[in-house]
Chain A
Amino acid sequence: MIGLGDLGVVRSVAPAADGVLEVEITPTFLGCPALPAIVSAVRDVLAGSGHPDGRVRQVLSPPWTTDRVTEAGREKLAAHGIAPPPPASPGGPVPVVLAAVPCPHCGSRATRPHSPFGPARCQSVLRCTACHELFPYLSAL
């Protein structure tokens, strides 16, 4: 549904100093349980595109934030029922859940936080008071 590039997890793809192709990734959360699967998926792509010795390197700085999700990525998330984070905001304090996250099902803005911790570490759960659906939200960070 959404690629690692659109999610902002892949930071760069370039040859390292020794000439080996290197993919830099930044985990969303440090304890993200999908990380080993992400690394092995990237290795598969590297091998499949003629770089079997390609490397995956984890880079922590600057840290991943929801600002790294691309516009196309936001649309893909919404299309799959996951409310995307609000547009990138330079600086300033970031609220844990913004007041008006539109419901990905009916579009209503009458939604309220339900649980700050959701089905995946990068998601929280909101409830739509119009269509009464619970939906995941890629928490602004």
Chain B
Amino acid sequence: MTTSTDQAPADEAARADAHLAVHLLRLGDDALVLGQRLCRWITRAPTIEEDMALSNIALDLIGHARTLLALSGEADGTGRTEDEFAFTRSDREFTNALLTELPCGDFAVTVARQLVYAHYAVLYYEALADRADLRLAAFGERAAKEVAFHRTHADNWALRLGLGTPESARRMQRGLEQVWPYAAELFDEDEVTRHVVAAGTAPSPAPLHPVWQRRVGEVVTRAGLTVPTPRWRAGGGRAGLHTEEFGPLIADMQSVHRQFPGGRW
């Protein structure tokens, strides 16, 4: 333990940065893993327009991940690049919420997950723009606008499927039931969150949960569907505990890097 007076503030700053780095890694992993998941739809979407929509959304998410992971590498002092984070970590080192790694399922399951995530991301990135440190706020301001497009896309599809045929409504409801238990993890607060809030470097997602519930609830109700009331909730993603399907997902994502480490084109 140090007693030097000028050493103490430096230690404190380093600790604050370490917490921020973990927080940024979580946000970045959410965006990266969901972006990678959505790529599954490329050439498989119901229409060519939807193919472009989902691939463009994936592109945005991977763009968000690049910024967030690079900022995390600066904050933790290692200077790791976004590529190092994406391609050289093992599954236990990824800290995404489990929602983002769930398999795409049918189109309704994908829409349900987009609904859950996009509404959360708009709220959280707006909060970043408002109450984060300077560079993170700049990211939040820009990214909030981008995820607002994703939210509109998800809202429109939820309505169309919910108000479509009995079969599309049944599938949309089933999609909501499947993903709903995974929503709460996005809003979890723990020691890391409390530290970044105390340091004033990033806001907590927890206070946004009621607003999120109201907003997605409105869309689900307008779509003639029922807001699920799950009897369990998922957790563990932030600690690196993943679902069975996560291994193949990152194996696919990292395959080129593993064959040609450090390759450049």
A31 and B64: CB pair below 8 A? yes
* Total residue contacts A-B, CB cutoff 8 A: 68
Q: Mark B36-64, 1 if CB is under 8 A from A, else 0.
A: 00000000000001001100110111111
Residue of A31, A125, A141 touching B145 (CB-CB under 8 A): A141
Number of residues on chain A facing chain B (CB within 8 A):
22
Quote the shortest CB–CB distance from A13 to chain B (angstroms): 20
Quote the shortest CB–CB distance from B33 to chain A (angstroms): 15
Number of residues on chain B facing chain A (CB within 8 A):
26
Chain A residues, CB < 8 A from B153:
116-117
- Given contacts A30-B143, A31-B59, A32-B63, are A60 and B138 in contact (CB under 8 A)? yes
Give the dominant DSSP class at A's interface: loop
Chain B residues, CB < 8 A from A57:
none
Chain A residues, CB < 8 A from B57:
117
Q: Which residue on A lies nearest to B68, using beta carbons?
A: A30
A121 to B145, CA, bound (A): 13
Q: Mark A58-86, 1 if CB is under 8 A from B, else 0.
A: 01111110000000000000000000000
Q: Mark A21-47, 1 if CB is under 8 A from B, else 0.
A: 000000101111100000000000000
B149 and A30: CB pair below 8 A? no
A30 and B49: CB pair below 8 A? no
- Nearest 10 interchain pairs by C-beta: A31-B63, A61-B138, A30-B63, A63-B142, A60-B138, A115-B49, A117-B53, A117-B56, A31-B59, A117-B52
6 contacts between A and B (CB under 8 A): A30-B66, A30-B67, A30-B142, A31-B60, A60-B138, A116-B152
